[in-house]
Amino acid sequence: MKLHNAMWPGLVGKEPGTDHPPISLEHMLELTAAAEVGGSKFDGVDLFIFHPHTDPDASDDAIKAMADQIAAHGLKVGSLVAPVWPGTVGGSAFGSVEDRKNFVLAVEKTCRIAGILNAHGVRQSGIIRVDSAGGVTDWAADPAGNTKLIAETFREAGKVAAAHGERIAAEGEICWGGMHSWKAMLDTLEATGMPETVGFQADLAHTYLYLLGYNAPEAALLKEGYSDEEFWAAYKSMTDALRPWTFDFHVAQNDGTVHGTGSHDKTGRHCPANDPNGKLDIARCSTYWLKDASARGMKHICWDGCMFPNEVLETPDTWQEILKAMIKVDQAI
């Protein structure tokens, strides 16, 4: 399995003019390419198709230049994050007609860029990553109706992706309505009904919170103070349900806490791979998701660690520890 690093931690939660401004794509590539453990290095990167890393409307020549830039570091490209959120290109998958058209447009723009990267040769695997782009509180106003709308939007986006030879994977994160619990995520995927084209992106940090029932206590599979035996039984139940839908995988660590605003809009707190407060046996947990991964067309896995301070991201040791964890995952599967 090829080992990729996510570029979006250089953008997510970063604000120009603050102590944590965006980190350029070039610098993220430099940090990724410099990491080495026992002769092993990262094979590639996954990209966020939005400013300032990648203009969703960039010319073909500009995308080819970016491909050359990535290839010059000895790296490939894998999955692409579509800019589906309000304020980027898209809108809520269960919002207004205009919101939903913009959601599909964001996928279409990302597929165009994927095609250019594929033709260049720098991209040979991966999916188009989305989520519902709407909050849990809004979704909860009409769970059945909003799940139906998400499914309709995902189907339209799936048709666009399929026409470009691409697949979509929706990230299971507890802050997104209709995918805020393992059960809601499964309901959304089944309602969409395109198992060959629209699937799931599993992130170790976010799916850990699925077990605990954050934002969906009725779907909790574990109670506070759980034993190891209870954890692995619950983990098997969750992964057995969602693994058949899983097209893409994020290696991550979680310390069991959440952050966000309000009673619903919370999300999992990624933490460093070697964080002493990490709750997950990263390698063992990964094996549950990656069983028969090649049969689902998966050729790479990606590290995801958002919302870290810039000084953490710009420290070489951070990437050494991440690469160590990634290698252990690859050896375990």
Q: Residues 165-175: pLDDT tens digits?
A: 999 999 989 99
Cα→Cα distances 289→53, 217, 247, 309, 328, Å: 30, 23, 10, 29, 15
Average pLDDT over residues 219-234: 96
Q: What pLDDT, on a 0 to 100 scale, did the predictor assign at position 262?
A: 43
Average pLDDT over residues 92-96: 98
Q: Average pLDDT, whole number, for the chain?
A: 95
Dist CA 92 CA 166 (whole Å): 21
Average pLDDT over residues 248-259: 89
Residues 6+ apart with CB under 8 A from 50: 11, 56, 81, 83, 88, 89
Say yes or no to pLDDT of 265 above 60.
no
- Under 8 Å between Cβ of 107 and 163: no
Q: What residues form DSSP beta bridges with 170? A: 130, 200
Provide the domain limits for residue 273: 2-332
Burial 155-169 (b: 16+ CB within 10 A, else e): bbbbebbbebebbbb
Say yes or no to pLDDT of 39 above 70.
yes
Q: What pLDDT, on a 0 to 100 scale, did the predictor assign at position 263?
A: 34
Say yes or no to pLDDT of 261 above 90.
no
Tokens of 63: 């995308």
Domain total of the chain = 1
- For residue 255, the domain's CATH number is 3.20.20.150
CA dihedral 269, 274, 277, 281 (to 10 degrees): 90
Q: What pLDDT, on a 0 to 100 scale, did the predictor assign at position 267?
A: 72
DSSP 305: -
Query: What SS3 class is residue 242?
Result: helix
Dist CA 250 CA 248 (whole Å): 7
**Span 55-85, pLDDT tens digits:** 999 999 999 999 999 999 999 999 999 999 9
Dist CA 257 CA 268 (whole Å): 7
User: Do β-strands 128-130 and 246-251 pair in parallel, antiparallel, or remain unpaired?
Assistant: unpaired
Query: What SS3 class is residue 46?
Result: strand
Dihedral sign computed on CA atoms, order 138, 142, 147, 153: negative
- Under 8 Å between Cβ of 43 and 76: yes
Q: What pLDDT, on a 0 to 100 scale, did the predictor assign at position 268?
A: 67
Average pLDDT over residues 267-290: 91
**Span 100-144, pLDDT tens digits:** 999 999 999 999 999 999 999 999 999 999 999 999 999 999 999
Cα→Cα distances 31→21, 36, 262, Å: 16, 10, 35
Q: What pLDDT, on a 0 to 100 scale, did the predictor assign at position 170?
A: 98
Q: What pLDDT, on a 0 to 100 scale, did the predictor assign at position 18?
A: 87
Average pLDDT over residues 44-50: 98
Q: In terms of DSSP H, where are the helices of 201-302? A: 204-212, 228-242, 282-290
Percentage of residues in the chain having pLDDT higher than 70: 97
Q: What pLDDT, on a 0 to 100 scale, did the predictor assign at position 259?
A: 65
Confidence of residue 249 (pLDDT cuts 50, 70, 90): very high
